[in-house]
Amino acid sequence: MPTRHLFRSILVLSSALVLLAGPAAAQLRTELVAEGFDHPVAIVPDPLAPNTLIVVEQTGRARAVVNGVIQTTPFLDLESEVKYENEQGLLGLAFSPDGSRVFVQFVKRRTPDLGIGDTVVARFRRSADPLVLDAASRLDFVWPGGQPFIPQHAPMHKGGTLAFGPDGYLYLALGDSGMGGDDVLGAQGPFSLLGKMLRLDVNVSDTDPRGYAIPPTNPFVDNVPIPALHEIWSFGWRNPWRYSFDDYGPGATGAVIVGDVGQDSREEIDYEPAGRGGRNYGWYLREGTIPTPGVSPFREPAYLPLTEPLADYPRSIGHSVTGGFVYRGAALPSFYRGRYFVADFFGGVYSVGLSIDAAGEAHAANVLDHSAELGLPRLIPTFGRGLDGELYFATFVGNAIYKIVPGTPELPAPPTGFVTQVNGSTVNLSWEPGAGGGAVLSYQLEAGSAPGLADLLVTDVGGQELAVSGVPPGRYFVRVRGLNSSGLGAPSTDAAVRVGCGGPPLLPSGLTGSVGPGGMVSLQWQGTSEATGYLVEAGSGPGLANLAQIPVGGTGLSGAVPAGTYYARVRALTSCGITPASNEVVLVAP
């Protein structure tokens, strides 16, 4: 059970890259499912009833929730034997893939009760009422050494999740059962089940006395790279309180993602591609990406190499990670599909983008903080995922279950202040976010051969500026749009960019003129983005410039002239020369 807050605004990744956890666009909200539980620590969908969730209470009961209504009779009641204290209690529940069997993990009381219990994994079948388990069908797994429980040494670090992987085997995470520093030497001990992930074949008959068999593909069955208990799938865990498989929907990788609660320095999230058993995640030698502070130089790993986490972060930012799920449902905006949702027990829900490389390993990026839009949830012990792939979380505040649902869509406003600068063949672009609208996650730059077209370039931009080098000579019309989970916002105003002297020049346009008292002439026109200045011409006849040629820095000119008739036009001064003339106006000065 976590006892410690998560990254409020920063994640330190295993690559030592520090990312800001930016606030998400307000596209998510919470929907109350049910409340009034007693310390809910797991949310599990019933595979035989799409409208039913099983909520595990740490105090010893599991409750069925049907269409948001908590059923009166418990699904399972072990209160009389569960040791509920500190991080002990009824901690995990999993259905077999066909829904006929139910497996639970809990800490049972000892006699005499000295504050520490032992871990039991038990199997049940349903009774005639499918929403109530048959107590008489119970079988407690028998572990190496012949005991129907796993001895524990402290009231902390129990792990607790049970889950079936996409391979059909039951996975069980156990903490190191220490008060600190893995004082019982479990996590690196090859003949201890503590501090390990186990993988079990539970597809055995009801009469099998042990309750499970060893999968033949478990990594240590051949005692390679070291002799070890054959139940072990991976080493080096401190308190893998909540983990899940990325095994739902299109794009699912089958990977397991674990939130491993740290000690004094780091919290970590670990990613294991499907089928990659036998890894050593490093506790007690490593805490996140750093050597564990104060570790004895005489402590050695069971074997090498040690696997680095997907992400870790310092205790100055957070204190207890609550692992969640990769979202691959359909209700939330498509932006969230493939993102890993994770929480802090003391407050905050976040999502992390996952980039999967050719080797199947994941890299984390683009951390978003959903805390504000979800109502700053606190005391979050667990997530759940429905049969439809949608996400839930529990909170001890009100002892409630919430569903994460779409908020009101809001596209970003058009960006403003779009500035372009050309330096040889390099084009520098910059802009500012538009006022109002939804929060921007990134931008899309578009370039076309005419205003409004995007036939030449469409590219994503993370920040608010971009330098594009090696641009061929020519004229380009560019604009930028904001992007968030609701989609693309409206574009900024087009900017015309001329690189080199290719393409026709942009001409001044919209020239107007007036004559006031005393022969005061005023000219105004529309400028161009290419102009470094302008040249006003005046002549005694159409197209002539025999009366005046006046350089002008802006887009207007005024002054007194002698009586007469003037034909005026304006040209732009550019780095490629003087452009053809604008429209012509006729001015008559009295």
Q: Name the pLDDT band for 13 (thresholds 50, 70, 90).
A: very low
Q: Name the pLDDT band for 510 (thresholds 50, 70, 90).
A: very high
| pLDDT greater than 90 at residue 522 | yes
The C-alpha atoms of residue 144 and residue 8 are separated, in whole angstroms, by: 42
Q: Name the pLDDT band for 24 (thresholds 50, 70, 90).
A: low
Q: Name the pLDDT band for 179 (thresholds 50, 70, 90).
A: confident
Place of tokens 């005061």: 520
- What's the sign of the alpha-carbon dihedral 155, 159, 163, 165? negative
Share of the chain above pLDDT 90, in %: 77
Q: Average pLDDT, stretch 337-359? A: 93
Q: Name the pLDDT band for 25 (thresholds 50, 70, 90).
A: low
Give the pLDDT of residue 11. Answer: 35
Share of the chain above pLDDT 70, in %: 95
Q: Average pLDDT, stretch 528-544? A: 92
The C-alpha atoms of residue 43 and residue 35 are separated, in whole angstroms, by: 13
Q: Name the pLDDT band for 423 (thresholds 50, 70, 90).
A: confident
Q: Average pLDDT, stretch 154-176? A: 96
**Beta strands 256-260 and 290-291: pairing type?**
unpaired
Length of the chain equals 590
Cα dihedral value 366, 25, 329, 377, nearest 10: 90
| pLDDT greater than 50 at residue 192 | yes
Question: What are the chain's domains?
Answer: 10-406 (2.120.10.30), 416-499 (2.60.40.10), 509-589 (2.60.40.10)
| pLDDT greater than 80 at residue 20 | no
Give the pLDDT of residue 500. Answer: 85
Give the pLDDT of residue 26. Answer: 59
Q: Where is pLDDT greater, at 575 or 400?
A: 400
The C-alpha atoms of residue 226 and residue 166 are separated, in whole angstroms, by: 27
Cβ contacts of 262 within 8 Å, gap of 6 or more: 4, 238, 268, 287, 288, 312, 315, 321
Q: Average pLDDT, stretch 575-590? A: 92
Q: Where is pLDDT greater, at 484 or 326?
A: 326
Give the pLDDT of residue 18. Answer: 33
| pLDDT greater than 60 at residue 176 | yes
Q: Name the pLDDT band for 6 (thresholds 50, 70, 90).
A: very low
Give the pLDDT of residue 249. Answer: 95
Query: Which range is least confidently modeled, 174-183, 312-321, 402-411, 520-529?
Result: 312-321
Give the pLDDT of residue 3. Answer: 41
Give the pLDDT of residue 21. Answer: 56
Give the pLDDT of residue 409. Answer: 72
Give the pLDDT of residue 203. Answer: 98
Q: Name the pLDDT band for 15 (thresholds 50, 70, 90).
A: very low
The C-alpha atoms of residue 60 and residue 80 are separated, in whole angstroms, by: 8
Strand partners, 483: 442, 488
The C-alpha atoms of residue 542 and residue 275 are separated, in whole angstroms, by: 83
Q: Under the phi-then-psi rule, with left for phi > 0, alpha for psi from -120 to 50, and beta for the rest, what region is 178? A: beta
User: Residues 62-94: pLDDT tens digits?
Assistant: 999 999 999 999 999 999 999 999 999 999 999
| pLDDT greater than 70 at residue 508 | yes
Cβ contacts of 358 within 8 Å, gap of 6 or more: none
| pLDDT greater than 70 at residue 8 | no
Cβ contacts of 289 within 8 Å, gap of 6 or more: 12, 14, 16, 266, 268, 308, 309, 312
| pLDDT greater than 80 at residue 553 | yes
User: Residues 239-297: pLDDT tens digits?
Assistant: 999 999 999 999 999 999 999 999 988 999 999 999 999 999 999 999 999 999 888 77
Q: Average pLDDT, stretch 499-524? A: 90
| pLDDT greater than 60 at residue 2 | no
Q: How high is the mean pLDDT of the chain? A: 91
